[in-house]
Amino acid sequence: MIYLDNNATTQVAPEVFEAMQPFLTSLYGNPSSAHKFGRDMRDAVEDARGQVAGLLGAKNASEIVFTSCGSESDNWAIGGFLEQNPSRRHIITTRVEHEAVRKLCEHLAEIGCQVTWLEVDQAGAMDLDDLRKALRRDTGIVSIMLANNETGVLFPIKEIGRVIREHSDAIFHVDGVQAVGKIPINLSEWPVDLFSISGHKFHAPKGVGALYVRDGVTLPPFIIGGGQEQGRRAGTEAVPNIVALGRASQLAKEFDNHDQIRALRDRLEQGIIAAIPDAKINGSTDKKQRLPNTANIAFENFLGTEIVKKLDEVGICVSTGSACNSDSLEPSAVLNAMNIPKCAGVGSVRFSLSRYNTAAEIDKTLRIIPEVIENLRDKRCATIG
Ligand code: PLP
């Protein structure tokens, strides 16, 4: 099997599994307990907090709060801020956010908040002037992703943060879920207040994430109950998962072979473009403006769902975009927002690599894709209308 769907989720690194295993067996204490067994768990949680802070370049480990996933971090950041600041109910976000932000903002608009949706161009990029114009006195929070999950397009977070700081006192939340472990992050130097991450996107297991909350920024607790996480998120800590997130963060910080992933991604992209006449890359053609691991390719007039199915039959796992709408025949909301024509949008396929992919896998994929496309030639466009 060749797994090229790492933006959906990643394999747990063996080192991460090894680190968490004792906490699933012999080390089962509750971090809130007063005895040594509990204290050891507390120490493990705090070590992990330090490792996550190290990866994100946070000034203090106390700025990291563990959550269950990226969606929770996003919901807590935006929903929590608005709950605490009811008079500042204007939100700014983009049209290409993950559902965890986009659908939350749609819901907030339904219950009385005002949302300004920033447009993106065909390359997936936003215009800083649009942001400048959108900022208002009652703007409470701006939420913009660091890297798009479907196209890998990167947003200029430092510049965006600077514009927000210069023109308003709005809080800046960044959904960093797809970027962590793939590009360097330095939150102590970036003008960012809240930053969401998710473990399963960078070789930790599913079920753990974190929200960076800059010192001085307050949020009401997302879960009310015990005093865990300094009263910011109740519920007994998922110690094995938290230890795993810490170890994955440490591995990601040490990993220095992003160029190899980038080279494999480029080889895949160039190989497909050379072999398939109408194939085009979705997102910026400037590769520095995209994550090093992601290629989103439009096979114009084909159906992405059919390509995914055929590749699956021969053991190659890819995706049509966001995992959540993989059965849809409509182009994804992200590609629609980029004004990608429908016949290209529905024919788009996302390939996303990790440090575990090899050149042999990419070469095999490049051998198979032209055959798959050739076999689907008769089915072209019939269902697109
Ligand atoms: N934000 C982005 C950009 C994502 O890609 C995802 C997952 O695909 C999420 C948030 C949600 O993360 P989780 O699956 O941990 O809830």
Residue range 122-148, pLDDT digits in tens: 999 999 999 999 999 999 999 999 999
**Closest among 148, 165, 98, 156 to 128, alpha carbons compared:** 156
Average pLDDT of the residues in 363-385: 82
Average pLDDT of the residues in 343-369: 97
Mutate to test the pocket of ligand 1, among 178, 185, 293, 325 (most ligand atoms within 8 A of CB): 178
- pLDDT for residue 326 is more than 80: no
Cβ of residue 198 lying under 6 Å from some atom of ligand 1 = yes
User: CA separation (Å) from 46 to 52, 185, 228, 374?
Assistant: 10, 21, 12, 54
Q: Do residues 291 and 179 lie in contact, with contact meaning Cβ atoms separated by under 8 Å?
A: yes
Angle at 289 between CA 288 and CA 295, to 5 degrees: 90
Q: What is the pLDDT of residue 289?
A: 93
Give every CB contact of residue 13 below 8 A, 6+ residues apart in sequence: 203, 204, 247, 248, 251
Share of the chain above pLDDT 90, in %: 93
Q: Do residues 192 and 157 lie in contact, with contact meaning Cβ atoms separated by under 8 Å?
A: yes
Average pLDDT of the residues in 102-125: 97
- pLDDT for residue 328 is more than 80: no
Average pLDDT of the residues in 154-181: 98
Q: What is the pLDDT of residue 385?
A: 41
- pLDDT for residue 377 is more than 90: no
Cβ of residue 69 lying under 6 Å from some atom of ligand 1 = yes
Mutate to test the pocket of ligand 1, among 5, 68, 78, 98 (most ligand atoms within 8 A of CB): 98
Q: What is the mean pLDDT of the chain?
A: 95
pLDDT digits (tens, 9 = 90+) for 35-84: 999 999 999 999 999 999 999 999 999 999 999 999 999 999 999 999 99
pLDDT band for position 327 (cuts 50, 70, 90):
low
Model pTM above 0.85 = yes
Cβ of residue 75 lying under 6 Å from some atom of ligand 1 = no
pLDDT digits (tens, 9 = 90+) for 245-286: 999 999 999 999 999 999 999 999 999 999 998 899 999 888
The Cα–Cα gap between 175 and 79 comes to 14
Which residue in 69, 324, 343, 381 is the catalytic one? 324
Cβ of residue 210 lying under 6 Å from some atom of ligand 1 = no
- pLDDT for residue 110 is more than 50: yes
- pLDDT for residue 366 is more than 90: yes
Give every CB contact of residue 257 below 8 A, 6+ residues apart in sequence: 355
Q: What is the pLDDT of residue 278?
A: 86
- pLDDT for residue 217 is more than 90: yes
- pLDDT for residue 323 is more than 70: no
Buried b (16+ CB within 10 A) or exposed e, 301-310: bbbbbbbbeb
343 labelled catalytic: no
User: CA separation (Å) from 48 to 10, 81, 102, 206, 218?
Assistant: 20, 26, 30, 16, 22
Tell the burial category of 199 from Cβ atoms under 10 Å away from its Cβ (0-12, 13-18, 19+): buried
Q: Which amino acid is at 224?
A: I
pLDDT band for position 321 (cuts 50, 70, 90):
low
- pLDDT for residue 381 is more than 70: no
For residue 319, give the DSSP letter.
B
Mutate to test the pocket of ligand 1, among 71, 93, 197 (most ligand atoms within 8 A of CB): 71
Average pLDDT of the residues in 169-195: 98
Spacing, Cα 9 to ligand 1 middle (Å): 9
